[in-house]
Amino acid sequence: MSTGKKIILGVTGSIAAYKAVDLASLLTKGGCDVRVVMTADAQRFITPLCFKTLSRNPVVTDLYDESEGWKPSHIELADDAAVLLIAPATANVIAKLAHGIADDALTCIALALNTSARLVLAPAMNGRMWLHPATQANVATLKARGAVFLGPDEGMLSCGYEGIGRLWPVTEIAPRVMALLEETK
């Protein structure tokens, strides 16, 4: 049962990329039409096949992945999206979005996103990276533009440090995103 609302799930290069597979599954089971876009760095952690199987849709891995139609796939996705959810969102992608850098499929979609769509970011990174003044300035810029941040969470990080920087639990991200979909009706 599809809600008719399209969610673009952007997956970036973080060890937490494997958790995005569960997120895609939860959103799909919740009736969402999930379209996954993976950065090149994300593909170093997990393969597109997992997302293709669980979302039941093709996965965009390159800016030049084209569908059958005449419209570039990144524009078509940006036009149709109700929510662009980037989980995990690295410091790199947060900086690119804050500064309007569009050098891959995901950042091009974000820059071309239709004005009624919501941008939701679930950060995952080393705690020092999250707390760095540059990252915090980029987060403030994106929040001022209406972006919603979910997390990051605190706990043991993959780098061995304890602190802030973990991806929020996907069991909390999915319902928050589905609630945002209800608000956009």
Spatial CB neighbours of 89, under 8 Å, sequence gap ≥ 6: 10, 12, 121, 122, 123, 124
Tokens at residue 61, please? 């891995």
- CA gap 41, 132 in Å, rounded: 22
> For residue 160, what are its two tokens?
């061995």
| Residues annotated as part of the active site | 159
Q: How far is CA 163 from CA 148, 154, 156, in A?
A: 21, 5, 6
Please list, in sequence order, all residues whose beta carbon lies within 8 angstroms of the beta carbon of residue 175, skipping any fewer than 6 positions away.
none
**CA–CA distance, 112 with 73 (Å, rounded to integer):** 11
